Amino acid sequence: MFACAFLALAAVYVAGFYATVWTDPDAAESRFDALRKGGYPGLAEGYGQRVIALRREEGVSEESLAPFKVKVASSAFDARRYAKSAGLYEEALASDWALELGMIERAILEDKMARSQIIERDISKAVSIYSAFIELSGDAASRSEGEGDHSVESLYANLIAGSETLFTEALKPTGNPELFSGGREAKLTAARDLMKVGAFFAMNDDGLYASAGLLSSALTIRREILGDDHQDTVQIALMLGPVYQRMNRLDDAERLYLDAFHAQEKAKGANSPELSLYIKLLAEVYEAQGRATEAQALNEHMRALFRDAFGSQRYAANRVRDRRLDIDRPVSMQFPLTAAYAPTDLIRAVSYSIPISKNPDVEEMSIRLAADPDEDARESNMPVRLAQLISLCRADSGERISLRSGYRAYATQKDLYARIGNLGTVTPPGVSEHQTGLAADIDIGGRLMRQSDKTYQCFEENAFRFGFILSYPPGNNYLPGEDTYEPWHWRYVGIRTAQLYREAGPSNKPQEFLAALPCYQQQAVSGGLTPVGEKDVCLEGGKVVAAAATAAELRPVSIDAHEETAAARKLNNAGQGGQL
């Protein structure tokens, strides 16, 4: 009897309790908080939803409910109810309450919403958030994570980086068109955001799979709407191809480069030197696949194209002067400059109509003249050619292009590296090409140029025609740090050297090419460039070429491992400030 009475009382209590928490919003919220703190997010989320419903019945505004929605959204995420989590975050962030949030607090909530959306395969909304983060991150999106950097810009970059695993799990590396719906403009907007986020992850090897999924999805959308031959489609193919190569998906890279080549052939003409970029990329893939005969045929086609465009004697002139005046010297951890090194022909960039991003009298707004002695020095020099390249790419891309950094003295580089070198965008003193006055960091819209900018494609296709090469390509080991790819850093080496690098240089090895340049020049003059499939004698083993040798005397000099560093330093220190 007592037991029955106890059970009856317990039933009444339980019924009363649940009736109270189910009808009284304060009691329901108390229960929500208790379950949330006790580690029961699934139960807590249910009570949280009931609180929201009851508050609405009382006439509480959505603005007032927004902070509580955030708490419920967090519980829903922890309970793996991602659709509910994303919906609640979206409601809260769309309210006027969210307008009062600080930048950091809002960014953290948007990141949580985006993570829920990725898991729910609502990729368009997620990449829209991260694309906005990329713009807000400025230069932080272009560098490795730096310890001790607590800036808001770095926070945005770190939040994007934290989504890498989710994108990898959500997207196939060959495209996910089924995840994107809506009209033409909605899809093209999604493609733009996918491209920007994909380029962010392509900056380092850890993000390759995420990058492939994002970029291939963007490519599929643009192909569907714009067609294979549209320049926006080609732009993504040029970005995705190297990602596939680094992933060893060579067949996929081959198809991309073939499509891009045919598109550019139609757009620019069969004899355009700009096609050399796509010919070389395709030849690299063929060589990696063991298809040496096809790769060699492409190389021969490119050399014929160069003969027609630039003349049969394009490399015949003696370029020892360029070596002695450091126009084409390598500069890296392996090839350092001395603290005393300083060029003697610096000029103000603004004097040559080069758009600049800083006060024209700042040291970094100066570059070398580096004039050609065998041509009109007023027209054939580095600043004129940089201005021409920027003008061409500005017209081609419609983007705002400017010079971020030109010359930096050793002392300037030392001070800069001491302050922010750990962030990954500043090299140690003595190993920066900026000390030569021949390097140009390019800004787009006030921040460092990215691979996703249209200007980058223009530079890739055309910079060699104006004497510039990309100094720090993907996968280089020239600088300290894990990720030293710098799509914004272009180095002047002179037109003939840049042409030779495009035509016959080793892929993505500009420093090695410059170190062995006299050997490549000799091969080009004699017509004996190494065929595909054979060892590159200019790079074989630990060989370097004496800097002061004449064209007739150039030959590889074999050295052992112990002597290599000393020989490399000797090669670099032959000229100081334009003097031997």
The secondary structure of residue 401, as a DSSP letter, is E
Match 């003696």 to its residue by tokens: 318
B/e letters for 400-439, b = 16+ CB within 10 Å, e = fewer, are ebbbbbbbbbbebbbebbeeebbbbbbbebbbbbbbbbbb
The first and second tokens of residue 468, run together, are: 């510039």
Answer yes or no: are the C-beta atoms of 197 and 131 closer than 8 Å: yes
Classify residue 345 as exposed, middle or buried by CB count within 10 Å of its CB (0-12, 13-18, 19+).
Answer: middle
Residue 245's pLDDT is: 95
- Residue, of 325 and 306, whose pLDDT is higher: 306
Separation CA 287–CA 295 (nearest Å)? 6
In this structure, what are the phi and psi dihedrals at residue 27, rounded to the nearest 5 degrees? -65, -40
Answer whether 313's CB lies under 8 Å from 548's CB.
Answer: no
Instruction: Write phi, then psi, for 468 (nearest 5 degrees).
Output: -115, 150
Judged against a pLDDT cut of 90, whether residue 127 lies above it is answered with: yes
Which pTM was predicted? 0.86
Q: Are 558 and 551 a contacting pair, CB within 8 Å? A: no
Helix axes 208-226, 184-201, angle to 10 degrees: 150
pLDDT on residue 564: 34
Q: How far apart are CA 505 and CA 497, in angstroms?
A: 10
For 510, how many CA atoms within 13 A lie in the half-sphere containing its CB? 27
What pLDDT, on the 0 to 100 scale, is given for residue 113?
A: 98
Domains and CATH numbers, the chain: 321-509 (3.30.1380.10)
Phi, psi of 530 (to 5 degrees): -60, 125
Separation of alpha carbons 180 and 191, rounded Å: 9
The string of pLDDT tens digits covering residues 346-383 is 999 999 999 999 999 999 999 999 998 777 777 889 99
**Residue 553: which region, alpha, beta or left (left: phi > 0; alpha: psi -120 to 50)?**
alpha
User: How is 326-388 classified by DSSP, letter by letter?
Assistant: TTT---SSSSPPPTT---S-EEEGGGGT--BSS-TTSGGGEEE----TTS-TTTSSHHHHHHH
Integer Cα distance of 237 and 260 in angstroms: 7
From the list 140, 138, 78, 145, the residue with the least C-alpha distance to 112 is 78
CA 59 to CA 54: how far, in whole Å? 9
pLDDT confidence band for 416 (50 / 70 / 90)? confident
* β-bridge pairing 439-444 and 346-348: unpaired
Distance between CA 461 and CA 294 in Å, rounded? 22
Q: Do β-strands 439-444 and 401-405 pair in parallel, antiparallel, or remain unpaired?
A: antiparallel
Q: Of 199, 271, 266, 209, which is closest to residue 238 (Cα–Cα)?
A: 199
pLDDT tier at 144 (50, 70, 90 boundaries)?
Answer: low
| Distance in angstroms (rounded) separating the CA atoms of residues 48 and 53 | 9
8 Å CB contact between 343 and 433: no
Assigned token pair, 394 = 């500005």
* Buried b / exposed e along 275-295 (16+ C-beta atoms within 10 A): bbbbbbbbbbbbbeeebeebb
What's the pLDDT tens digit per position in 452-481? 999 999 999 999 999 999 999 988 878 776
Confidence of residue 552 (pLDDT cuts 50, 70, 90): very low
Mean pLDDT for the chain overall? 86
Q: Are 297 and 283 in contact (CB under 8 A)?
A: no
What does DSSP assign to residue 443? E
Burial tier of 448 (Cβ tally within 10 Å: 0-12, 13-18, 19+): buried
- Given a contact cutoff of 8 angstroms between Cβ atoms, the answer to whether 191 and 185 are in contact is no
Summarised one tens digit per residue, pLDDT across range 240-257 is: 999 999 999 999 999 999
In this prediction, residue 373 carries a pLDDT of 77
pLDDT band at 108 (very low <50, low <70, confident <90, very high): very high
Strand partners, 403: 356, 442
446 has pLDDT over 60: yes
